[in-house]
Amino acid sequence: MSVTDLLQHSELFLGLTPEQVGQVAMLGQEVTYKAGDVIIREGDPSDEIYVICSGTVEVEVSRGTIPDVTGPPRLTSLARLGQGQVFGEMALVDRGARSATVRCVKDGTEVCVIPRQALWALCDSDHHIGYVVMRNIAADLSFKLRHRNLRMRLAGGEA
Amino acid sequence: MIYKVSYVVTGKPHLGEIVNLDAPPRVGDRVQLGNEPCEVVEVIELIPPRENFAYLHVTCRPVQEKK
């Protein structure tokens, strides 16, 4: 399956024509990760958005606001994401530092890495693409929040 | 149709998973969530479908594999 086909199975590009998804696919690069690889690290600058073509990743945040300088950072897992899911999308919206660490949990996980500036430039040059992508990012963030709320409800408030 | 599924697991702390599937999960299905074999106990529509995407919320319970 081509990158364009894979991206068409991601909600991020729902509502775009195959030609428009092809334009996005041309910006991206496919990268394969091993289990345990850190794909993005909390606090780092953010320059890309990621779409999972196959495999699974886990999203983690460090507990507490001050890093433990005497030992490894304590991490709490927030979510596990599989095929078709997007991460790093907050950077596309706010250009802030990475809010979480994302680690590959399945060997051979394939991810399409799309540079933020190139995607912004495409969204600026074609406002329909820009509107659709931003609407879909909002919908994706909303879905993740619903998932987290439901998980918290089951856990009695512990996320 | 593409099914965007939010999996949660009852009975123990578990991250669940969000994944896109080509077929909808059904009650009684066995799924592997992380290292945890689970059984689907409930499937509900989380939000209305958009174009070719359906949005489902699936509750699972851990099951013990027979040795």
Structural domain includes residue B29: yes
* Cβ–Cβ below 8 Å for A146 and B15: no
Residue of B56, B11, B6, B45 whose CA lies nearest to A145: B6
* B35 has a chain A CB within 8 A of its CB: no
Number of domains in chain B: 1
Low-confidence ranges of chain B (pLDDT < 70): 66-67
* B8 has a chain A CB within 8 A of its CB: yes
Structural domain includes residue B67: no
* Cβ–Cβ below 8 Å for B16 and A14: no
d(CA A141, CA A118): 21
| Residue pLDDT, tens place only, A17-76 | 999 999 999 999 999 999 999 999 999 988 999 999 999 999 988 865 445 445 556 677
Structural domain includes residue B7: yes
Q: What angle do CA A11, A47, A43 make, to 5 degrees?
A: 105
Q: Which domains does chain A have, with CATH numbers?
A: 3-149 (2.60.120.10)
Token pair 């496919």: residue: A30
Choose among B18, B55, B59: nearest Cβ to A85: B18
SS3 A151: helix
> Which sign does the torsion angle of CA A81, A85, A90, A95 carry?
positive
Task: Determine the average pLDDT of the residues in A134-139.
Answer: 94
* B19 has a chain A CB within 8 A of its CB: yes
Contacts of A80 in chain B (CB under 8 A): 15-18, 33-34
Residues A48-64: b if buried by 16+ CB within 10 A, e if exposed: bbbbbbebbbbbbebee
Global ipTM: 0.87
Residue type, A105: V
Structural domain includes residue B43: yes
pTM listed for this prediction: 0.83
Structural domain includes residue B23: yes
* Cβ–Cβ below 8 Å for B19 and A143: no
Q: Residue B47 belongs to what domain range?
A: 2-62
Chain B closest-CA separation from residue A65 CA (Å): 22
Structural domain includes residue B58: yes
* pLDDT of A85 over the 50 cut: yes
